[in-house]
């Protein structure tokens, strides 16, 4: 009976070792996918952060470009306004000069006519 007990104890011991080995093998792969999933989630989070940073940078750049375009448009409008004012001033000066010239011509014509009519005639 001692042999039977020893062989039952040996069989139990061997069965326990095999069960432990089988359990260790079955849980090890389950841990690896969990770690891989965690690493993948961390990578996805990092990629999302990078994409967010890129989107922020692009938005900032777009805002700066729009601001610069608005400034250029404003300066162009001011330049066009200055040109229009200069043209208007030039037209006024030209009109005044033409008026002055016409007045001088009229006076010269009057003087010439007066000189002809009042000049002594020599015969």
Express each pLDDT in 12-64 by its tens digit: 878 887 777 666 665 545 556 677 778 888 889 999 999 999 999 999 999 99
Q: How far is CA 23 from the centre of its chain?
A: 59
Assigned token pair, 94 = 């030209």
Task: Determine how many CB atoms are found less than 10 A away from the CB of residue 11.
Answer: 10
DSSP code of 119?
Answer: S
DSSP letters for 15-76: HHHHHHHHHHHHHHHHHHHHHHHHHHHHHHHHHHHHHHHHHHHHHHHHHHHHHHHHHHHHHH
- Other C-beta atoms closer than 10 Å to the C-beta of 119 total 8
Structure confidence by residue, pLDDT tens digits, 68-121: 999 999 999 999 999 999 999 999 999 999 999 999 998 888 887 777 776 555
The reply to whether the predicted model has a pTM over 0.75 is: no
pLDDT in tens, 8-21: 777 887 888 777 76
Residue 3 confidence class, pLDDT cut points 50, 70, 90: low
Rounded-to-integer distance, Cα 115 and Cα 107, Å: 12
């Amino acid at each position: 009976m001692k042999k039977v007990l020893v062989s039952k104890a040996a069989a139990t011991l061997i069965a326990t070792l095999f069960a432990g080995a089988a359990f260790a093998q079955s849980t090890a792969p389950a841990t690896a996918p969990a770690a891989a999933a965690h690493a993948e989630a961390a990578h996805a989070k990092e990629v999302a952060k990078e994409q967010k940073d890129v989107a922020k940078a692009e938005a900032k750049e777009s805002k700066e470009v729009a601001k610069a375009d608005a400034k250029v448009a404003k300066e162009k409008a001011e330049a066009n306004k200055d040109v229009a004012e200069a043209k208007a001033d030039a037209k006024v000066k030209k009109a005044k000069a033409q008026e002055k010239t016409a007045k001088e011509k009229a006076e010269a014509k009057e003087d010439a006519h007066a000189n002809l009519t009042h000049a002594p005639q020599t015969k």
